[in-house]
Amino acid sequence: MTIKQKFKSAVKRGTGEANLLMMEHPEADFSKEIIIASLRNLSYDNKCDMRADYVFGLIELSRRKDEIRKAILQALATEANDGWALDQLFELTGRFAKQGDKEAREAIYKRFYVNPIESCEDFGDDVIADLDGIEGLTYIAEVKTKAMRDESDLIGDHWFISNYQDKNPQINVYEELENVAKTNPAVRTYLDIVLKHKENQSNRKKRVKYSEKLITLRIKNKQPVNLWSWRKKELSQTDINRLADDFLKQTQRKRIEPYLQIFDMVKYPYDYQPLLNYATFPVKKSDRLVEYACGSLKFFQGNDIRQLALQKLNEIRVPHEYLDLLVNNYKKGDAKLLTDIVKRCKNDDEIHSIVFGIIEIYKANKTKECQAPLEAMYDRLNCGIHRTDIVRILIKNKVLPERIKHELQYDSEQEIREIYKEIR
């Protein structure tokens, strides 16, 4: 792999290898690759994996910063389809503006709320507020009030104002806006609507505690049942037992699936054989029954569970549905099979589909042999959030390679950069 190819791969993944390559090879011109990374968020999940800080760090190292800057400003003015690209362009341009770049500042104001991309109309407001404080918020209020079709267009702005307040505790933001509103009708209208929605949010009915009765009703009405960690704690053992009893009565695949989803999150209270039975069902694209069945078996240990795991993990090229079977049934030597599964993956979707399962396996099984599959995953994965899990597991097992350790200080994920400060 050439230096350019290594750099391109590192930038796509968001690893610090890209920064190190620029420092080690000052003669190389990586501006083309940096421009590509600037105009599009290359992460797997744009909503959760922001890259502006990371990319701007690369821009700062480039000898062709002005050329890259021009490409960014031009793209900010013209981007019409990719909302997350627009968001990153606003953020990058904001960093130029913070350095005193007047043209960049003007470009931000010129593009804000002009030819907005659907569902991304607010992009850029954080940048303006961060640059110009109350003056920036005043501009945002004026622009949004003028453009709004009805009050629903501002339904989430109280979160925006509250977040700005949290970041700037030295300012009484609502009080400052109230002062501006006394002489500015647009800000008066904006502030009244924002305060109204904020009050409505505060007065919302208290959520109903999860119970067997509520979950059964949601299943009957074909509503999702998401047992996040704080929801699981609301269920008593009696609730769980009753749900298991109801599960055993089901005969239709579409009725069985939501119960398996529940037992993917809380341990099934009886013998696991019914779960294992459903784990052997054919996989269908129309549902996740097999995936949930295998997930429910991660709480159990059994030779028959391990046998099914080995069968499926060996015969299916990308067996993401079946990885959970090894969580409580892992044995020394399985790292070779898991490394092979990583190598079988041909694209970002496939590699991302197996990362959940492999991480869960090594969270539950402390072993130095985790290095091979996790390092292989690290070198392929285009997701900073899961890369964080990988790094933590490698550190916990004392097998973090030096070359990865050195890269962490420049990673796109802030949490990973913080981890580096802890271990350097």
Q: Taking the C-alpha atoms of 219, 225, 227 and 233 in order, what is their torsion angle to the nearest 10 degrees?
A: -50
Is residue 207 scored above 80 in pLDDT? no
Res 229: pLDDT: 73
- Round to whole Å and give the CA distance between 310 and 286: 25
Determine the longest span between alpha carbons in the chain, in angstroms: 75
Main-chain phi, psi angles of 84, to 5 degrees: -70, -30
Question: pLDDT tens, 330-375?
Answer: 999 999 999 999 999 999 999 999 999 999 999 999 999 999 999 9
pLDDT for residue 206 is more than 70: no
pLDDT-derived band of residue 256, with 50, 70 and 90 as boundaries? very high
With 80 as the cut, is the pLDDT of residue 163 above it? yes
CA 72-77-83 angle, 5° bins: 85
393 vs 267: CA distance, rounded Å: 24
Please report the DSSP string for 30-68 in residue order: -HHHHHHHHHS--SS-TTT---HHHHHHHHHH-TTHHHH
Could you read off the pLDDT of 269-324 as tens digits, one per residue?
999 999 999 999 999 999 999 999 999 999 999 999 999 999 999 999 999 999 99
Alpha helices in 99-235 (DSSP H): 102-111, 125-147, 157-167, 173-181, 185-202, 212-220, 229-232
Q: How far apart are CA 149 and CA 152, in angstroms?
A: 8
Q: Token pair for residue 23? A: 């420092």
**Residues with Cβ within 8 Å of residue 137, at least 6 apart in sequence:** 128, 129, 161, 164, 173, 176, 177
Work out the number of other CB atoms within 10 angstroms of the CB of residue 6: 15
pLDDT tens column, 60-96: 999 999 999 999 999 999 999 999 999 999 999 999 9
Instruction: Report residue 390 as tokens.
Output: 């990988």
Q: Which amino acid does the sequence have at 418? A: E
Confidence of residue 209 (pLDDT cuts 50, 70, 90): confident
**Cα-to-chain-centroid distance, residue 251:** 36
Exposed / middle / buried, residue 382 (Cβ in 10 Å: 0-12, 13-18, 19+): buried
pLDDT exceeds 80 at position 240: yes
Specify the pTM.
Answer: 0.93
